[in-house]
Structure 1
């Protein structure tokens, strides 16, 4: 069989519905079909779709396309898929979707992002220290519109704890389709980006952070308020940590500053008791919200 006799079945899951197409390996379009899927708009800025309806529509469009007899099914050598982005599908350990998918139009997570990024010295709605940490660890930060998967997950945790507790994974729509096709729970470097837990700036060395990127150091509010705004410009973590071997290289700015004042004996004793500076990545201070 020559390469000209081989074909790819392509799936494009758009918001309005999936398109299923047959293409030659040279890129020639042989035929295509479309099946519409509805968008549900709950009050408060919600936008949802049914993952099962997605899959049923893909099957319907695919069967209708193959029934045309444009090629022999035996000549299909691969399936390629793409989809809408910035959506969240909660699935259980069996890979079954739990409830509807929250899609890219949904803004109900905005209050949780605002709370997550709140603090003094704001820049475009982001607390400066938190913004610096997110950018250092991931190269960006969650959008304050509340439409990123991170916002969706925080919304589910607060409003639908029964879904959050049952969920084994939170998948992008493209990864849910991949799960249905292969039985594998997986994400790509692209699809994981808007969860804001990976640093994708070096595609040869993508790093993962297994906690929400917020720093919670349990000491007196007035101590924190007085110290870190004054010292942040003077002691960026990446530089100061190189000056002292006891500070992890990726310690957050707040922890670095606290460590400095702890060493200089400037913190109150009850505040110093709360500090832990031996664990890498500041994970003592990272909490799942």
Structure 2
């Protein structure tokens, strides 16, 4: 039977998955890497390190499964959104990639957003710029690193670099390109009037295609490094949120995804180009023309728990933290955590926002801090969920995804704070599976992405109902959570004194 491979280039690791066309998983391999922070507010990663990790992960997957590479008929890619990879004339990275959590481009963001308004282009981008978006980062390079800018011949997003290393072809696709801010999200093409108005060369932006189209084949060099068969078809793939939606079966309206990864998102697929007129949310291209995803984007989800584990508690693993706080009552006995360690997008779009614990007394212990971080992350996701409902988007099901779907505490916390039943799928590594389904569609194993999802994705029988004893309490604390930010917003702007 044919096999499909899905690769997800995340912020903290790359994962590779092998499955058959019916969704049976043959194996999953993973390799971790770090975010480099060379200066305050910067966040970078090495594209070459991504590639080394990806090649090693594919080889490890074949070694652990014993699968024959000749059985792999298609490979799809998923990747962290927004980041900027700059390539020179030889296809070599000019500098480290500037990734989504980077905060350096605040001045460029203001300039881009002003130009969007003056040129009346916001209805085409369906977004405003944020720090960490590829266009903002590229403008920062142009204005601060002219020698690097002069060497750039192409720009791509993170997973596009991996596809280039696999196939030798430099290109982008619509879902990820729409997260760059240099894109007409309504029309699924580069927004050249904005690009040229910013004084950026239009030639830097490569060909842009659709996720399930075949991008190329595995080259001999890539086969040697990965163990894949030369000539294996590679599809363009998509942004991780799009691929995760596919892996959760969300390829038509009616379901909302609550994802807790390094960042967090509440997302839904829509059949009309809907966007938030107050720019508190993002709208991007979804899996095929005529589909869009609208989402609230939270920067500090799993990242906040990892920060607590590594930098404060120096704990061995996440499961230990979960068990530590399992007996703490809802509301953490009054401790609230504002999770804005690297600023926040939805709903504040505020790179200056800061994190903190409030409400602590002598009674509180380590386990209260852990539970408060879990709850603070979900309060932030609830902000996004409420904004989505303001746009008239309601769904009968909330599907939990990512790390937030791996432990009952995360799941029950989401059900209680959202006040809605929370479901999970039987799928492991949803973004990898979504990428594999898209690959299967591109190479003809499925007649459509919907058919692929029907064969592969199923909801788990167990789901999590809101506990009515906790809902009123969480409503109260969520109200305080929102007020804490609003009452400190001006203070945050003056928090850091530059020497």
Query: Does TM, normalized by the shorter one, top 0.5?
Result: yes
User: Following TM superposition, by how much is the alpha carbon of 1:88 offset from its aligned partner in structure 2, in angstroms?
Assistant: 0.4
Taking the aligned partners of 2:176 and 2:80, their CA distance within structure 1 comes to 10
**1:138 and 2:138 correspond:** no
Secondary structure of the 1:8 match is strand
Taking the aligned partners of 1:187 and 1:210, their CA distance within structure 2 comes to 19
Taking the aligned partners of 2:190 and 2:44, their CA distance within structure 1 comes to 30
Q: Out of 151, 155, 172, which is 1:170 matched to?
A: 155
User: Following TM superposition, by how much is the alpha carbon of 1:37 offset from its aligned partner in structure 2, in angstroms?
Assistant: 1.1
Change in 2 beyond 3 A, CA 1:129/1:151: closer
| Contact 1:87–1:148 under 8 Å retained in 2 | yes
- Alignment gaps of 5+ in structure 1: 119-126, 217-289
Change in 2 beyond 3 A, CA 1:48/1:209: same
**1:209 and 2:196 correspond:** no
Secondary structure of the 1:41 match is coil
| Contact 1:41–1:47 under 8 Å retained in 2 | yes
Taking the aligned partners of 1:188 and 1:128, their CA distance within structure 2 comes to 23
Residue 22 (structure 1) aligns with: 18
| Contact 1:9–1:76 under 8 Å retained in 2 | yes
Residue 87 (structure 1) aligns with: 83
Taking the aligned partners of 2:13 and 2:116, their CA distance within structure 1 comes to 40
Q: Deviation per CA, 1:82-105, whole angstroms, max 9, x where unpaired?
A: 111110011112211112111101
Secondary structure of the 1:61 match is helix
| Contact 1:48–1:101 under 8 Å retained in 2 | yes
| Contact 2:44–2:99 under 8 Å retained in 1 | yes
Taking the aligned partners of 2:187 and 2:53, their CA distance within structure 1 comes to 37
Taking the aligned partners of 1:77 and 1:103, their CA distance within structure 2 comes to 31
- RMSD of equivalent CA atoms: 2.3
User: Following TM superposition, by how much is the alpha carbon of 1:169 offset from its aligned partner in structure 2, in angstroms?
Assistant: 1.0
Taking the aligned partners of 2:171 and 2:4, their CA distance within structure 1 comes to 22
> Normalized against structure 2, the TM-score is what?
0.38
What is the correspondence of 1:28-47 to structure 2 with a 5 Å cutoff?
28-47=24-43
Residue 67 (structure 1) aligns with: 63
**1:49 and 2:45 correspond:** yes
**1:147 and 2:137 correspond:** no
Q: For this pair of structures, how many residues does the alignment match?
A: 199
- Alignment gaps of 5+ in structure 2: 200-499
Residue 198 (structure 1) aligns with: 183
Change in 2 beyond 3 A, CA 1:137/1:92: same
Taking the aligned partners of 1:215 and 1:36, their CA distance within structure 2 comes to 36
